[in-house]
Amino acid sequence: MTYPVQLALGPLVLPVHLLFEVLAYSLGYRFYQRLRARTHDLISDDHRLWIFVGCAAGALLGSRVLGLLEHPELLWHPPGGWLYYFTNKTIVGGLLGGLIGVELTKKHLGVTSSSGDLMVFPIIVGMSLGRVGCHLAGLTDGTFGTPAALPWGINFGDGIPRHPTNLYEIGWLLLLGAGLWLLERRRPLPDGWRFRFFMVGYLLFRLLVEFIKPTPAPSGWGLTAIQWACVAGLGYYGWLFGRDVGLSKKPHLPEPETYS
């Protein structure tokens, strides 16, 4: 296979990455609709719509901001001009920004039920399809790994076998999805925990896989911007789990007697 993979229809060359991105959104949303139709959703249609708006706004902002922080040295001299500020994006920033947008929207609406559990499997499907597009785009996408003297190292067009980190991610997402499905077949998870486990699993993967990507950590940072975002996200979910475990261990005092 020669990278980047091109899909030609006569004189027209279609961007494979964009096609898979559109496919990811389309199939992910259809999968979500099917799951919601089969699930008793505690959140109303109107509230779901506003939650989607909050999620989209947060994801758009988060993906762009973290994408720019990944290469802070380019902020003052962007390659390709001002369009650089709108085209650089990262999934980690999108997930964490979307999380913030959802939580702020739910707080405003007074929604306390989990809105993320229903989205986990559609997100896994969409992200996996999107990463297929990243892989086929080769070096132009920037999601490849460092050079690797391994049997499965892939030459993305520069003659150097590299870690196919986008394929690693697809494999991890499928394992994560299968693990959650099997776990819930044994016993139901508390409200919101499916999404928590997904986020913890994905953020942990990204924290580790970034060590075999060619993006260097900015001087004095120790880790890349994406890795620091993963650390922050894992810390947040660690606090949530610790809080819930602490609440479950508190003794339930009997209600005081009242006299009439």
Predicted confidence (pLDDT) at residue 255 exceeds the cutoff of 70: no
Q: How confident is the model at residue 169 (pLDDT cuts 50, 70, 90)?
A: very high
Q: Which pLDDT score, from 0 to 100, does residue 254 have?
A: 53
More confident site: 189 or 77 = 189
Cα separation, 49 vs 239, whole angstroms: 29
Q: What's the Cα-to-Cα distance from 61 to each of 54, 58, 64, 104, 109, rounded to whole Å? A: 11, 5, 5, 14, 21
Predicted confidence (pLDDT) at residue 66 exceeds the cutoff of 50: yes
Beta bridge partners of 154: 162
Q: How confident is the model at residue 220 (pLDDT cuts 50, 70, 90)?
A: confident
Q: Which of 248, 247, 244, 213 is nearest to 230 (CA)?
A: 213
Q: How confident is the model at residue 257 (pLDDT cuts 50, 70, 90)?
A: very low
Range with lowest mean pLDDT among 73-77, 205-209, 228-232: 73-77
Claim: this prediction has a pTM higher than 0.85: yes
Predicted confidence (pLDDT) at residue 125 exceeds the cutoff of 60: yes
More confident site: 22 or 141 = 22
Mean pLDDT of 196-202: 97
User: Domain locations in the chain?
Assistant: 1-37+113-241, 44-112
More confident site: 5 or 120 = 120
Q: How confident is the model at residue 203 (pLDDT cuts 50, 70, 90)?
A: very high
